[in-house]
Amino acid sequence: MKNQLQNLSQQVKKEADLLLKKTNLIEQLNKYGDVHKRGSYELDLMIDGDIDIYVIDKQFSKERAMKCLDEFILQNSFYGYVFYDFVTRGKRGFPKGYYLGLRTKFNGKKWKVDIWFMKTMDSKSNRFMKKVVAGLDEVKREKILELKKIVKDKKIELPSYIIYNAVIDGGVKNLKQLVEFASKEGF
């Protein structure tokens, strides 16, 4: 199963790269600031069509984020668009920024692209990513991929960062332990 999950993760990342290239998404976002591909893409832990991108915009404003969203809508490479203002309506656990959610179907698979426009990199996210990278080894990488696949196949609503914490900090090794860990974390 080890090689299967690593192969699946590599395949999903290749598809992500193709989607990003086909839609010119990164080039378009580069007009607005420094672009950082984060989450499972950055960690090489992709199991499904979910790409997280942060845009650090020195001219950060709601108008610029909305202008970018308008460009995506006019480009028509995606079929669904969402916008949230987490600057004026902050929400615990979310960065202070503007969220653009893009949805599409590519190579027969549903894809979700989460884009965060921020003035500076979210320090909480940065610390978390550094912690995950430092804590990853081949055994933990394989366990995370295995648990992410189980969660996806069973259609369990659980953010990936809970799985990363469960394996790296909690030593979780199976679904039962993951559910217990997630419950303690409020999920």
**Amino acid at the residue 114:** D
**pLDDT tens per residue across span 89-136:** 877 778 899 999 999 999 899 999 999 999 999 888 889 999 999 999
Q: What is the pLDDT of residue 99?
A: 97
The percent of residues in the chain predicted with pLDDT above 70, rounded, is: 98
Q: What is the pLDDT of residue 148?
A: 95
Q: How far is CA 81 from CA 66, 89, 95, 153, in A?
A: 11, 19, 19, 25
Q: What is the pLDDT of residue 187?
A: 84
pTM here?
Answer: 0.90
Compute the average pLDDT of residues 36-49: 95
148 touches 163 (CB < 8 A)? yes
Rounded to whole angstroms, how far apart are CA atoms 5 and 47? 8
Helix intervals (H) in the chain = 2-23, 25-30, 39-43, 62-75, 123-135, 138-153, 160-168, 175-184
The percent of residues in the chain predicted with pLDDT above 90, rounded, is: 86
Tell me how far apart the terminal alpha carbons of the chain are, to the nearest angstrom.
Answer: 28
Q: What does pLDDT average to over the chain? A: 93
Rounded to whole angstroms, how far apart are CA atoms 163 and 145? 9
Please give the torsion angle defined by the CA atoms of residues 100, 155, 40 and 165, in that order, rounded to the nearest 10 degrees. 110
Confidence of residue 27 (pLDDT cuts 50, 70, 90): very high
pLDDT value at 1 more than 70:
no
Q: What is the pLDDT of residue 85?
A: 96
Q: What is the pLDDT of residue 125?
A: 86
Q: What is the pLDDT of residue 2?
A: 60
Report which DSSP code applies to 119.
S
> Secondary structure of 129-176 in the HEC alphabet?
HHHHHHHCCHHHHHHHHHHHHHHHHCCCCCCHHHHHHHHHCCCCCCHH
**pLDDT tens per residue across span 149-184:** 999 999 998 989 999 999 999 999 999 999 999 999
Rounded to whole angstroms, how far apart are CA atoms 176 and 5? 20
